[in-house]
Amino acid sequence: MRYAWLVLLLVGCGAQPVVEGSGRVACQAFRPITYSMFKDTPETVEQIRGHNAAYKSLCQ
């Protein structure tokens, strides 16, 4: 749960995606990451979920 505050911060930034200017370029290179619940550590899964939440908040 170390990264939960980051997800909450990003989700709380607004309802509209940030896709203007440099954000548009970032969203083209930034993609969700898949993980394995059986092969990845809980810490890795948590970090990937935080990454994916940031992508969803900013780019979708």
Distance CA 19, CA 40 (A): 31
pLDDT tens, residue by residue, 7-54? 555 555 555 554 566 667 778 888 899 999 899 999 999 999 999 998
What is the structure's pLDDT at 21? 63
H helices of the chain, in order, are 4-11, 22-29, 42-59
The pLDDT of residue 23: 66
User: Which pTM value belongs to this model?
Assistant: 0.58
